[in-house]
Structure 1
Amino acid sequence: MKQVYLIVLLLALAISTSAQNQGTIKGRIINKQGEALPGISVGLEGTSYGAPTTESGYYNIKNVPTGNYKLIVSAIGFQSITRNINISGAKTITRNFTLREKSEELDEVVISGKREENYTTDVSSLASKTDIPLKDVPQAVSYVTKDLIQDQKAFLITDLVKNISGVNQESISGDYMIRGFGASRYIMINGVKVSKGWMPTLISNMERIEVIKGANSALYGYSDPGGTINRVTKKPLAESIQGINFSVGSYNTIRTEADLTGPLNEDKTILYRLNVAYQDAGSFRDLMGRKDVLLAPSVSFVPNQKTRVDLDVIYSKIQARVDRGQPFTNETDGLGRLNSTPNSLSATYSNSYNHEESFSLLGAISHKFTDNVQFKTSFISNQYSRDYLEHRTNNAYGINGTGNEIPTVMQMRLQRGVSTNTNSNVMSYFNFGLQTGRVKHNIVAGYDFSQELTPVGGWDKRLAGAYRNATNTAALNSYDPSKSELYLLDSDGSPVPNMPYFDLLNPDYTPQDIDDYFTSTRSRAASRYYTSGVYIQDQMKMGKLQLLIGLRQEFYTDFENYKEEDVKTVEQTAFIPRIGAVYSLTPNVNLYGTYVEGFQPQSAGVIGDPAIYGGPFDSLTSNMLEFGTKTEWFNKGLTVSASMYQIELNNILINANDPDNPELLKQRGQEVSKGLELDINGRILPNLSITANYSYNEALITKSDDPDLVNTRKEYAPMQMGGTWIKYNFVKGLLNGAGIALGSNFVSKQETGSNFTLPDYTVFDAALFYSIDNIKLSLNVNNLTDMSYWIGRGRAGAGISANPGTPRNFLFSVGYTF
């Protein structure tokens, strides 16, 4: 409870200090159309006194000492206003302002400090590496802004994917499907690739989450066919603003957050931001609580309007257990199987653990040489380590003496190990603005390099064999009833498992001594791969028509038996095109079409360890054809995007479901995904915000060595998904300062590749808000109807388990900004 006392003390100290001052400055800020402007920074120059405007456009700066000040109203995208203010005694001064938009402003790609307007944004650092608006990008891009993250009180990215069309959570541990295809273990932060680790990390330092749909290999090389998730970090601001938040909720959840930003010098050329977060959360799943720490300081150097340097550090620590999902008995099929065990059941023991730690250093430099020439470079260096002890199922049920399954007990497996890997990525490119006759060119030309290294020193201890031999001196991988004399048998004539069975009907989580099992320990081989690419892209504008052409040459190098005498270099190359077109039907309606190709070499670990994963495997290749429309409404306050697409993926890797080797993979010939998507984001009224999405996706297996699979639906790729979140703020009367939000998300049934189907579900959420001065209270209730549902596969294996969704839960939060 130390964290609770600390946050209460901070709140009390901030409030009591503020109360000693006297004057008050308040008012309202609108645009030239008379609409309220939320999130506008209002502050007194040279002091820490200031406040952002509320969603109704009001600001209130309290407890200002007597004196003369300069009141500054500013926001990126608007012309700043400065007014002289005199505070004398306990006066209340009212100043209202109308802001006008700037026609031009330096807007850094890969750097975020842009003011978000509720649930909409008009830029993406991922989509084109240029400053062009999202509506001019000939490819679907979905996103979630920090305002929606705060309103839904999301702490992990898994809490947010329901807001993005075509993206569904595949597992509790943070696996995703995008347009019917699994996302790899790589994500992007500020447009540069990094490994995502085993479990999702806290997102308190994120400005927004964005997803570009389809492969983006023409700009970034290695990429997933369904899409890429990019996380954009919060950047330092020139205004001094501090905020703290404390939350408590279901399953003994405690969360604290702090977000501090402002200038470090009088000229405001050196800015800082510090995001700190802590979570201690239980779970409805047995033994599956987790503790998280996030520390994310950042510094920006902005000497002028042409140059900006950013440096970010992200440190994350997770203490948890691996959740392999809810295991089922093998007595029934269909829904009966899903309900054969409680959704809280975990097939593990209490001495299991999973500890992860990651440290990332990010940097970005942007310099504008002229109005038409700009250079940008970004880098990331990440070190990730994992220490784990896991008791899990062996993807099989117990066996009796005749070799028949015992449907209520599971074979168990031990995994114990430590691992470390480092990865780095450098990305540099020029932007050129040219004009040839009536054609305007926006050219990107660049080079990037990324590398991943697993050093010597990692190791695994694994269960060696499923059943004990007759002399009880070793273990055998499988049981053959015709040779029962080779096995140690119990009094019933059944083989004795190397590790005792887990009873699904009478679970016992008592810690187990791993020295009681026959195991083998092996060192993890060192591995290394690196990839690089050169590319050029030109977006040409001719009146209402824009054409985009991009080309990339990719080079991928991997090492088999790295650091050994028989080291061998494996090289792969790819030539990757991107073609797109945008036509402005009206000023607020754009039509577009695009064709992209994707390249995805197998990872170093998969290629370099065929004894575990199988192989060798061919690289994954994909292509996508997409058409759509992007529109703006209500004075650009609301955006509506719709798209239709077809994606073809070749050489897919899937789990072979081999009980003797749960990590073994096999390659499938081809999968094709076709669908429609709709995204709505923004404001209908100044106090009415909405985000909504819908997707229809038909993902089929079109080529396979198993003819029975051809033209069948792909596993864990629902045909329909969608969601809404609508927030209304009261601005008049007794309810002024209050707000309410209602949300829902639905997912149609999902095939599992086994003898049962995950049923469709619809989940409803709600939230209440109340703001008074600088304090904001909120209550979020998720799964209002307490529906039982399953989101996707369990990591324990096909037909063995699935991931249940969270029952009804709540979170109460108190936030204070000063």
Structure 2
Amino acid sequence: MQKHLFFWGLIFLCFPFLYAQKTIDLRGKVTDENGEPLLGVSVILKGSLKGAATDEKGFYWLQHIPLGKQTFIFSSIGYQTLSKEIEVMPNPSGTHLHLNVSLQEEAEVLQEVEIIGRKESSYKNTSSFSGTKTATAIRDIPQTINYVTKEVILDQGASTVNDIVKNVSGVSQYTTYNDFSIRGFRTTGNRGSGNLINGMRAQTSLWSASSLANIERVEVIKGPAAALFGNASPGGLINRVTKKPLLERQHTVSVNTGSWGTLKSYADFTGPLNESKSLLYRLNLGYETTDGYRDLQGRNTLTIAPSFSFIPNEKTRFNIDLTYYRLDGKVDRGQTIFGDADLYSVPITRSLSATNDFLRETQMNISLGLTHKLTDNLSFNSTFLSSSYSEDLQEHNQANSYYMQQGNNINTGDPSKILMQALLRQRTFRNNSFNNYFNYNFNTGIVKHTLLVGYDYFQINQLPGASQLTAGGYLLADGTTTTTYNPRRFTYLLDNNGKPRTNVAVFDLNNPHTGNAMKDISKYIFEPGGRTIPTQQTSHGIYVQEQLEISMVKLLLGLRKEFFKDYLNYKQSNEKIIEQQALIPRVGLVISATDNINFYSTWMKGFEPQDAATQSDPDRYGGPFDPVYSELFETGIKTDWFNKRLSATASVFKIIQQNSLYPASPAVPGKPDLKMQIGEEESNGFELDLAGEIAPNWNILASYAYIDARITKTAQNNEKDFGMQRPSTPRHSGNIWTKYIITNGFFKHLGFGVGYNFVTERFGQVGRRANTTIYPGYGLVNAVLYYKIRQIQLQANLNNILNKTHWVGGYDKLRSFPGAPRNVNVTVTYKF
């Protein structure tokens, strides 16, 4: 027995030695062509499931590599895949072998769908999937595509898209909602033509700004991108790219606290779920609560966003993304001022909400993605997105009039009292998008081709059960109500002072405490209204795109046929289908003058049908109306500097749009919402954007825009808004933000950043409104201080340091939207 124990003990002791003779570890470093370390490079032992990824210093470690001739595959987004064959032998001087490699940058070999997360970790982003629906270097896309990366989002302490649009040229807030002006044209979150998630149409809120809790970067695709996405806003669209799983394990938790009782908590976990790294995951969690600087405008939000990538082999990849977002708050209808005074006459903190008002929103996005290489040159890509939005709303808001104001004559009303209304609404929207396309790469002589052929389908529905009740206006002697004040036409119920009584109490700007108090809505006379009948819009799009490359010249040709249907009185006995079609071309040219300089030009057309709410109620709005058509002419230059660490884009453009809807002029009595189609609008401008690193520890982001956007043709060419600068569009705007980290000496790991953004004056809602206002220009100074202790980073952001009173946009004296005063936020981030 003792002999047997001795024998097996000897074998056990010798086993590590015997095993080591057959395997050995492999370590090394991966850099780019300039010697800079590359993060997240995939290192795979060919013919096996063994793999690793490089860390932020470019190092990798593969364990238990069999001895003998072996081949290793190094791959990363934006770089040529490198196959390296070596003889794996025992190392007499150590327990592992060394293999350092350098990867060459090449756009053509990028992953065709964004399945695995972005590897870059600076303010610069090299490639885009949404600009051409192929993985293309941004410098090779004949169109302006701006972006804000997660590194900027973190450094600026931003939590919503509204917080970061100041970093992008030509983009400004129209209001504090999910509502923007891009190159002079409005795009709102509740319309699929202005908001994308991962290049897909998404149903989002208008009232609340989009969260950044699970966002990798925000892209702004400039111009009418209808050739790829169908109906689209002429100025551009905003694409939110969600965080995707990474090949390396990475966990981050952060807690933020600051002004106005703000508390934000975020978690980001990612990495492989199995040893072969064929199954990856990412989980983003976010919770935010704040009282806000505006009276009664606190909110709570919750984000839960898991994502999974399955890569069974080199040819096939699957992706599943889920995002659940919940908001509890109120609708902020903006600041209202005295009708005979200026913007400063009422504190920017004052709102007209009642204590018992509420807004409860739920958004859910579920996307399924597949990319499969049929051959080395032919691949198929398919994505399905189910996007839903539910709203439960109770609010008191301005009825767009001062008390006893007659029509548009603001001087007839009481300038200190606001006519109010109450609104109860519940509704749910569902958007299903389906996107399929083939990519085929081939050569004909010296010409390289990337051919894309695709089919899109989307369907937007307002589901059955939607309901809306509105109480407002003046009480009449016959027991009914009216929204119009006209003593010659109506007989009103009068109060003890002989003044007309209102259905909902007016808001007295001199007595805001009463106006903000809890309201007993049971005493109101409600009337049904709004868009409560189920609605449906559908669109089929067939498109083809060819990217040709001949030496230094790249040519992009695109053509899309769009079939749009709007169902009026959907599922009712009087249902009617309005069909609209468009043929949408796109032509772009890129000339690579040097390794660092590309010149480009582009021409494209756009198409945007009128929304269902307007089309479905011709008695109220007029119409039905023709679609909006647009056209873009753009030329510019894209450059790289400091060993391609810093990129810059400069462009000049002209956008022409036809058939926009504006308030009817002259106004029609009794029809305040009647619209007319303006003949033509035009936007001309210049933009400059740069982003990246001046040095490895010095980041910079800057932009400037000059935009001249106005109505150039109307029915009479003498309406009030003819020739005026378009609403919420500053003629000049700019931003600069820079961050520097000290890497040596006593202050090692201490960093600081500073930024300045400005806009010139902007018009409110132009048109026939008598109370249109002009919002003054402003400049804001922001700063941040960092300190990193091992895996913990401390960060303090100070925004609007000079406490500048300003307005980000608005409509008129009844609805203006101020920006936040001075505020501070402190963040603790732990990475493990």
Same fold (TM over 0.5): yes
**2:78 and 2:127 in contact (8 A); partners too:** no
Query: Is residue 762 from structure 1 mapped to residue 779 from structure 2 by the alignment?
Result: yes
Instruction: Determine the structure 2 residue equivalent to 1:667.
Output: 677
Query: Is residue 304 from structure 1 mapped to residue 313 from structure 2 by the alignment?
Result: yes
Q: Which amino acid aligns with 2:748?
A: N
Q: Which amino acid aligns with 1:763?
A: L
Map 1:567-586 to 2 at 5 A: 567-586=575-594
Map 1:248-287 to 2 at 5 A: 248-287=257-296
Give, in whole Å, the separation in 2 of the partners of 1:596 and 1:323.
37
Instruction: Determine the structure 2 residue equivalent to 1:800.
Output: 814
Q: Shift of residue 75 of structure 1?
A: 5.8
CA 1:457–1:400 in structure 2 vs 1: closer, same or farther (change >3 Å)?
closer
Q: Shift of residue 120 of structure 1?
A: 0.8
Map 1:405-444 to 2 at 5 A: 405-444=413-452
- 1:393 counterpart (393, 398, 406): 398
Instruction: Determine the structure 2 residue equivalent to 1:244.
Output: 253
Instruction: Determine the structure 2 residue equivalent to 1:744.
Output: 756
CA 1:27–1:279 in structure 2 vs 1: closer, same or farther (change >3 Å)?
farther
Query: Is residue 550 from structure 1 mapped to residue 554 from structure 2 by the alignment?
Result: no
Q: Shift of residue 110 of structure 1?
A: 4.1
Q: Which amino acid aligns with 1:653?
A: L
Give, in whole Å, the separation in 1 of the partners of 2:380 and 2:405.
68
Q: Shift of residue 389 of structure 1?
A: 0.4
Give, in whole Å, the separation in 1 of the partners of 2:413 and 2:520.
26
Structure 1 SS opposite 2:219: strand
Q: Which amino acid aligns with 2:773?
A: F
Give, in whole Å, the separation in 2 of the partners of 1:192 and 1:363.
11
Q: Shift of residue 33 of structure 1?
A: 3.2
**2:430 and 2:461 in contact (8 A); partners too:** yes
CA 1:192–1:763 in structure 2 vs 1: closer, same or farther (change >3 Å)?
same
Instruction: Determine the structure 2 residue equivalent to 1:489.
Output: 494
Q: Shift of residue 371 of structure 1?
A: 2.6
Instruction: Determine the structure 2 residue equivalent to 1:194.
Output: 202
Give, in whole Å, the separation in 2 of the partners of 1:598 and 1:801.
31
- 2:322 counterpart (275, 292, 313): 313
Query: Is residue 786 from structure 1 mapped to residue 803 from structure 2 by the alignment?
Result: yes
CA 1:269–1:704 in structure 2 vs 1: closer, same or farther (change >3 Å)?
same
Structure 2 SS opposite 1:733: coil
**1:244 and 1:816 in contact (8 A); partners too:** yes
**1:165 and 1:721 in contact (8 A); partners too:** yes
For structure 2, the residue ranges without an aligned partner over 5 or more in a row are: 1-26, 67-72, 89-95
**1:290 and 1:319 in contact (8 A); partners too:** yes
What is the number of equivalent residue pairs in this alignment?
767
Q: Which amino acid aligns with 1:393?
A: Q
Structure 2 SS opposite 1:310: strand
Give, in whole Å, the separation in 1 of the partners of 2:629 and 2:419.
37
- 1:519 counterpart (523, 526, 532): 526
Instruction: Determine the structure 1 residue equivalent to 2:655.
Output: 647
Q: Shift of residue 613 of structure 1?
A: 4.1
Query: Is residue 477 from structure 1 mapped to residue 483 from structure 2 by the alignment?
Result: yes
Give the TM-score of the pair, scaled to structure 2.
0.87
**2:32 and 2:105 in contact (8 A); partners too:** no
Instruction: Determine the structure 2 residue equivalent to 1:118.
Output: 122
Q: Shift of residue 320 of structure 1?
A: 1.1
CA 1:812–1:69 in structure 2 vs 1: closer, same or farther (change >3 Å)?
farther
- 1:211 counterpart (182, 206, 220): 220
CA 1:306–1:556 in structure 2 vs 1: closer, same or farther (change >3 Å)?
same
Q: Shift of residue 206 of structure 1?
A: 1.1
Spell out, residue by residue over 1:758-792, the C-alpha distance to the aligned partner (whole angstroms, 9 max, x if none).
11100011111111211111111111111000010
Map 1:607-646 to 2 at 5 A: 607-646=615-654
Give, in whole Å, the separation in 1 of the partners of 2:113 and 2:641.
25
Give, in whole Å, the separation in 1 of the partners of 2:663 and 2:130.
31
**1:388 and 1:417 in contact (8 A); partners too:** yes
Give, in whole Å, the separation in 2 of the partners of 1:96 and 1:330.
74
Q: Which amino acid aligns with 2:527?
A: S
Q: Shift of residue 666 of structure 1?
A: 4.1
**1:42 and 1:52 in contact (8 A); partners too:** no
- 2:150 counterpart (129, 133, 146): 146
Give, in whole Å, the separation in 2 of the partners of 1:350 and 1:46.
60
Q: Shift of residue 150 of structure 1?
A: 1.2
Query: Is residue 449 from structure 1 mapped to residue 453 from structure 2 by the alignment?
Result: no
**2:558 and 2:587 in contact (8 A); partners too:** yes
Q: Which amino acid aligns with 1:475?
A: T
Q: Which amino acid aligns with 2:229?
A: Y
Query: Is residue 178 from structure 1 mapped to residue 182 from structure 2 by the alignment?
Result: yes
- 1:731 counterpart (739, 743, 768): 743
**2:630 and 2:658 in contact (8 A); partners too:** yes
**1:441 and 1:540 in contact (8 A); partners too:** yes
Query: Is residue 538 from structure 1 mapped to residue 546 from structure 2 by the alignment?
Result: yes
**1:48 and 1:241 in contact (8 A); partners too:** no
Give the TM-score of the pair, scaled to structure 1.
0.88
Q: Shift of residue 606 of structure 1?
A: 2.4
Give, in whole Å, the separation in 1 of the partners of 2:589 and 2:649.
16
Q: Shift of residue 637 of structure 1?
A: 0.6
Q: Shift of residue 476 of structure 1?
A: 2.5
Give, in whole Å, the separation in 2 of the partners of 1:227 and 1:592.
18
Instruction: Determine the structure 1 residue equivalent to 2:723.
Output: 711
Q: Shift of residue 684 of structure 1?
A: 0.9
Q: Shift of residue 437 of structure 1?
A: 2.1
CA 1:784–1:382 in structure 2 vs 1: closer, same or farther (change >3 Å)?
same
Q: Which amino acid aligns with 2:781?
A: F
Instruction: Determine the structure 2 residue equivalent to 1:131.
Output: 135
**2:680 and 2:711 in contact (8 A); partners too:** yes
Spell out, residue by residue over 1:332-373, the C-alpha distance to the aligned partner (whole angstroms, 9 max, x if none).
3xxxx1011000011121111111001111111111222321
CA 1:453–1:756 in structure 2 vs 1: closer, same or farther (change >3 Å)?
closer
Q: Shift of residue 76 of structure 1?
A: 4.6
Query: Is residue 503 from structure 1 mapped to residue 513 from structure 2 by the alignment?
Result: no
Could you say what the CA RMSD is over the residues aligned between the two structures, in angstroms? 3.2
Q: Shift of residue 30 of structure 1?
A: 6.0
Instruction: Determine the structure 2 residue equivalent to 1:692.
Output: 702
CA 1:763–1:245 in structure 2 vs 1: closer, same or farther (change >3 Å)?
same
Q: Shift of residue 714 of structure 1?
A: 1.6
Spell out, residue by residue over 1:248-289, the C-alpha distance to the aligned partner (whole angstroms, 9 max, x if none).
011110010111111112211111110010000121111111
Structure 1 SS opposite 2:679: strand
Instruction: Determine the structure 2 residue equivalent to 1:683.
Output: 693
Q: Which amino acid aligns with 2:375?
A: T
Instruction: Determine the structure 1 residue equivalent to 2:383.
Output: 378
CA 1:346–1:666 in structure 2 vs 1: closer, same or farther (change >3 Å)?
farther
Query: Is residue 814 from structure 1 mapped to residue 821 from structure 2 by the alignment?
Result: no
CA 1:232–1:463 in structure 2 vs 1: closer, same or farther (change >3 Å)?
same
**2:51 and 2:277 in contact (8 A); partners too:** no
**1:702 and 1:710 in contact (8 A); partners too:** yes
Q: Shift of residue 32 of structure 1?
A: 5.4
Spell out, residue by residue over 1:493-542, the C-alpha distance to the aligned partner (whole angstroms, 9 max, x if none).
21111211101122021111112122112581011110011111111111
Instruction: Determine the structure 1 residue equivalent to 2:91.
Output: none
Give, in whole Å, the separation in 2 of the partners of 1:389 and 1:611.
27
Instruction: Determine the structure 2 residue equivalent to 1:369.
Output: 374
Give, in whole Å, the separation in 2 of the partners of 1:381 and 1:147.
29
Q: Shift of residue 587 of structure 1?
A: 1.5
**2:52 and 2:247 in contact (8 A); partners too:** no
Q: Shift of residue 36 of structure 1?
A: 5.7
Instruction: Determine the structure 2 residue equivalent to 1:33.
Output: 34
Structure 1 SS opposite 2:678: strand
User: Comparing 697-706 with 250-259, which one deviates more in the overlay?
Assistant: 697-706
